């Protein structure tokens, strides 16, 4: 009986340990959260620091933006987030590239017009001089 209990406890421990994020996954998660906050606050300096010069930013409706267009849309309030919540996030790190998937739910005020967004998102992050930078983003309708 003790042997079975030890096996069950070990299985539970191993299962929960495999669910824990690695240090790099934690750093990527922190970068995603910093980006979420920067988008919500329309923080130009933070958005610039968190994104690659080669950023390609795809919207769920098919619109594509480069880094300058992405930042300008937020700073000018052409694209304005009132709320911005992420859920069901997964992170996979392979060397200096990280893939992040999540669902995004938001209340928006784009060009002064209220709206909502409920989309799926794939983010591609690249480690650059020790910092994770957003290289690509593609949203899709759920």
Task: Give the mean pLDDT of 53-80.
Answer: 97
Q: What is the DSSP track for 101-126?
A: EEEEEEEEEETTEEEEEEEEEEEEEE
Q: Is 130 contained in some domain? A: yes
For residue 113, give the CATH number of its domain: 3.10.450.50
> Does residue 16 sit within a domain?
no
Asked if the structure places residue 106 within a domain, the reply is yes
Domain count, the chain: 1
What is the per-residue pLDDT for 21? 84
At 9 the pLDDT is 43
Answer yes or no: is 10 within a domain: no
Residue 67 lies in a domain: yes
Has residue 112 been placed in a domain? yes
Question: pLDDT by residue (tens digit) across 18-55?
Answer: 457 899 999 999 999 999 999 999 999 999 999 999 99
Report CA-CA distances (Å) from 50 to 19, 37, 47, 54, 85: 26, 11, 5, 12, 18
Range of the domain at 46: 22-141
Does residue 90 lie in a domain region? yes
Question: What is the chain's mean pLDDT, rounded?
Answer: 90
Residue 27 lies in a domain: yes
State pLDDT tens for residues 80-94.
999 999 999 999 999
């Amino acid at each position: 009986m003790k042997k079975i209990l030890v096996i069950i406890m070990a299985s539970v421990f191993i299962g929960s340990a495999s669910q824990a994020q690695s240090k790099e996954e934690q750093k990527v998660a922190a970068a995603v959260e910093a980006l979420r906050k920067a988008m919500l606050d329309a923080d130009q300096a933070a958005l610039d620091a968190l994104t690659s010069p080669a950023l390609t930013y795809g919207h769920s409706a098919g619109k594509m933006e480069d880094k300058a267009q992405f930042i300008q849309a937020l700073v000018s309030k052409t694209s304005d987030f009132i709320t911005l919540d992420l859920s069901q996030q997964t992170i996979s790190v392979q060397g200096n590239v990280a893939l992040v998937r999540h669902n995004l739910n938001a209340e928006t005020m784009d060009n002064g017009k209220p709206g909502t967004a409920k989309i799926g998102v794939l983010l591609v992050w690249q480690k650059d001089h020790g910092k994770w930078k957003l290289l690509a983003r593609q949203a899709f309708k759920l």
